[in-house]
Chain A
Amino acid sequence: MHKDVRTTITPGRLMALLAVTALLLTGAPGCGKKSAPGDGAEAGPVTVDFWYSYGGRNREVTEELIKRFNDSHPDITINGTFQGDYFENLSKVRMASRTKRGPVATHIIGEAIPQLHEAGLLEDLDPYADGQVEGVEKLDRADFIPGLSQEGYFDTLGKKVPLVSLPFNRSTPIVYYNVKMFKDAGLEPPKTWEELVAVSKQLTVREGDETKVWGFEVAIDWWFWYAMLHQAGGSLLNQTGDKARFAEEPGIKALDHLVRMVKEHKSMKHPPGRDYNAWEVANTDFLNQKVAMIWTSTAYLKYFKLNAKFEVGTAFLPKQVKRAVPTGGTFFVIMKNKPEAEKRAAWTFIRWMSEPDQTAYWSRETGYMPVRRSALESEEMKAFYKENPEYRTTIDQLEHSVPFPFSPKLVEIQRKILKPVLERPVVEDADVAEVLKKAAEEANKLLASDR
């Protein structure tokens, strides 16, 4: 009986069905559109795929700059596309590097650059910057603001590292405070950790069990803890980059300070949420005047200025044994496995983006820092800073910037080992020293592995 069933499948009908299916799959309109990989032929403009991670307003600013570039460079077309957030883009870049597709240029968070460099994915930019590549002019490297360039962002741990990136959106954490609340209480932004505790206590307003206004709020997150680690005189790794040092006294003190402000003094609100969600909670509380002072990125400056119904003040982070502030943001990179002509065109683009006009425009529109001294000193920016002095805070603070170790394991230590556990002392009542000690053991294991 079953044999009969099988023999009655008419091949013709089956084929028809499969054909329809195939049509559905491949015959759909718009199928197969793609830009052919450029072979560097001199005829016609060179198209450069540039991947970026911006949605929202930053995307609009980025697209505007791309448009200006394309309009002023008839021989180059920059094809900019959104590829998800920083980490989604990073994964895609890594994956695409194993194929013939993928971008020629993109921008990458600083912490991930050593890993990509170690994997051999990044083009060595020294020859371009030195003008040794045909048709490329020498770049004035000294014009980059020291704390913002690749050299300033990294401690190369005694190794020689070529130039593989140019700075794009660069930031530092700064203090934002509600000027009126501080004035009413007769207070100044705190200059030391001790003052931070005292000022926060004074600004906290409690009615019964309910806290009406918190003195201080910051996400218990890698970036802010890293600042305090260095303020307390510590460092992430040792000088050769093969051992973790963050579980020593300064690291413990840094985390413990925040934990005690939350649990003991009850003057700091711990914003809930993962990653940037916690940052956003702090932002919203600040705008709603539920908190007198927060730490967050200078990149939110424009957002606060547009949406706050009170005067927003900015200040340096406080110090402990010294002042210290990490920088953040992304760098442009060029992928190595691409045709020469495209790489040259990509260099023209990322160099153009760092030039005074563009970096100044970017800075004013976003709150990130301009990356060139000549941009800072331009008449335009001088006038701008005169009118908006709070935009200067992050730049003046750069004097105290501290680098990250140029270790291929840096991004993993940050993302996989430290970020997930820093909140544990607050959320789960875990012991600060225990948490860091365990993380340091994991980090040491990772640093010792060949991977």
Chain B
Amino acid sequence: MRESDVHPTLRAGALALLVLIALVEVTPYLWMVSTSLKSLPEVIAFPPTLLPSEAMWSNYAEVWGSAPFGDYIANSVIIATSIMITQGILACLAGYAFARMEFPGRDAMFYAVIACLMIPPQVRFVSIFLLLDNFDLLDTYAAQILPHSVSALGIFLMRQAFLAVPQEIIDAAKVDGAGTLRIIFQIMLPMAAPTLTAFLLFSFVFHWNDYFWPLVVTLEETVRPLPLGVAMLREQGTGSRWHLIMAGNVILVAPLLVAFVLAQKRIVKAFVFASIK
């Protein structure tokens, strides 16, 4: 069905609905940015103002100066990127094994992986904490990366994507003398790229925003990521300074938004592919 075939009223209706959904999604972010630029009296004033009467850029300077935010950002980048890369590589390898190799206990192991999807991290955190302590790994990047380096969801998604690759292509590659790793990374991966991109994106965003795990395994500030830094802006019992908290939140989400804008085309393509299949 071409665009021109659609009834104009229907088109207008669909457009209005999309605008509404976009507004619902975007308004909290705009509100956050607006609040981050207000003064405290303006933040708590009723009725609230839509835009700050005067943009208080100094809020950002105050937040930035209150703790080593540069370090937090660097830590966040290191942690979220490392998790994303290891999860991606291991998901491809394991996904391939489950999709295309035959070995005893394969299905049982696959079900075990699926079962992992159901267990919330809060259930295992005490034992992992003690384990990390035994290995003397608390307060390290490793403590924040290792427990997340394998993703059951990633393995599951990559297995499904690899299953969709026609066997003939793999056979042909083998005839031409390609090894398993070459088959996985050079032949099958490009065909499963949309799935992988979508997964890596979810992984990165989730771990970029993660507050719980880093709080559990870090006792010192040196290796802490950004969400913990932002949490330090919250007051306990002295009245929240929402303008500063929101400025911290803008600092937290800004890198993600920039990344989204830069990679927008690829991301949209990936999701379209993923949903067509």
Contacts and interface: CB of A to CB of B under 8 A. Distances in A.
Chain A bound to chain B: yes
Interface of A: 1-2, 4-6, 8-10, 13-14, 17, 21, 24-26, 28, 30-35, 49, 51, 53-60, 79, 81-86, 88, 92, 95-96, 98-103, 169, 171, 276, 280, 283-284, 287-288, 290, 297, 299-300, 302-304, 307, 309, 329, 366-367
Contact of A288 (B46, B100, B133, B233): B46
B157 interface: no
A30 B223 contact: yes
Contact of B181 (A14, A32, A49): A14
B168 interface: no
Contacts of B234: 55-56, 85
A367 B215 contact: no
Contacts of B140: 31-34
Interface residues of B, number: 57
Nearest to A86: B236
B86 A24 contact: yes
A241 B277 CA distance: 64
Interface stretch (B37-45, B200-208, B257-265): B37-45
A98 B126 CA distance: 10
B219 A283 contact: no
5 contacts: A17-B181, A32-B137, A33-B223, A55-B236, A302-B238
B233 A55 contact: yes
B129 A95 contact: yes
A9 B171 CA distance: 16
Contact of B133 (A32, A100, A304): A100
A303 B66 CA distance: 19
A34 B140 CA distance: 8
Given A2-B102, A98-B130, A88 B215 contact: yes
Instruction: Please name the 4 residue pairs, one residue from A and one from B, whose CB atoms are nearest each other, closest first.
Output: A303-B239, A56-B235, A288-B46, A99-B133
A243 to B, nearest CB: 32
Nearest to A79: B220
Interface in B199-228: 215-216, 219-223, 228
A307 B38 CA distance: 14
A83 B139 CA distance: 13
A9 B182 CA distance: 9
A332 to B, nearest CB: 16
Interface stretch (B10-18, B23-31, B141-149): B141-149
A366 B237 CA distance: 9
Contacts, number: 167
Contact of A5 (B89, B142, B174): B174
Interface string B159-197: 000000000000100100001110100000000000000
A169 B237 CA distance: 10
B101 interface: yes
Given A25-B146, A82-B221, A288-B46, A55 B82 contact: no
Interface centre among A53, A284, A366 (most CB of B within 10 A): A284
B109 to A, nearest CB: 16
A33 B89 contact: no
Interface in B80-94: 82, 85-86, 89-90
Interface centre among A54, A84, A280 (most CB of B within 10 A): A84
Nearest to A299: B237
A280 B236 contact: no
B223 A300 contact: no
Given A287-B44, A367-B238, 9 more contacts: A2-B100, A21-B89, A28-B78, A35-B220, A55-B235, A55-B236, A98-B130, A101-B133, A284-B44
A60 B236 CA distance: 12
Contacts of A24: 82, 85-86, 145
